[in-house]
Amino acid sequence: MSDLTHIDKDGNATMVDVSEKNETARTATAKGSIIMSGDAIKRIAAGGVKKGDVLGVAQLAGIMGAKKTPELIPLCHPLSLSSVKVELAIDEKRSAVDITATCKLVGKTGVEMEALTAVSVAALTVYDMCKAIDKSMHITDIRLVHKDGGHSGEYAAD
């Protein structure tokens, strides 16, 4: 017998039954970065990328990614998100674009996967829009930094 929540007693994959859980306010925040050349960072900051406004497009892509999470992650519950915020910031010293996503809802299950997916999709969008400038970019440090609500309560990364 497994302690894994997505595996039944016979070893089959299953969606967790949340029908008996109480609805609570839930939030999750995830972060990540995409590291690139100084030239790529400067061109993003100056609006000099041929494909357009990198940060604006990536922000929208991250929001859309959060909304599509159950289509991308097997056994993820479809959720009625009440808020998705994606912020991108340039850090010229690290030659990075830092991404933060926060998802909220009132529901029976958490929004950690939606926040993580938002960061991931935003980072992939930055990569796609800038790959002609710098093919050596790398996406890094995607992680959950905070969650609140539900049975397990609050979590804050160190």
DSSP 7: B
Cα–Cα distance, 110 to 16 (Å, whole number): 12
Catalytic entry in 53, 91, 128, 158: 128
Question: Measuring CA to CA, which residue among 54, 152, 155 is closest to residue 99?
Answer: 54
Cα–Cα distance, 5 to 66 (Å, whole number): 22
How many other C-beta atoms lie within 10 A of the C-beta of residue 23?
Answer: 13
Instruction: Note if 128 is an active site residue.
Output: yes
Catalytic residue IDs? 128
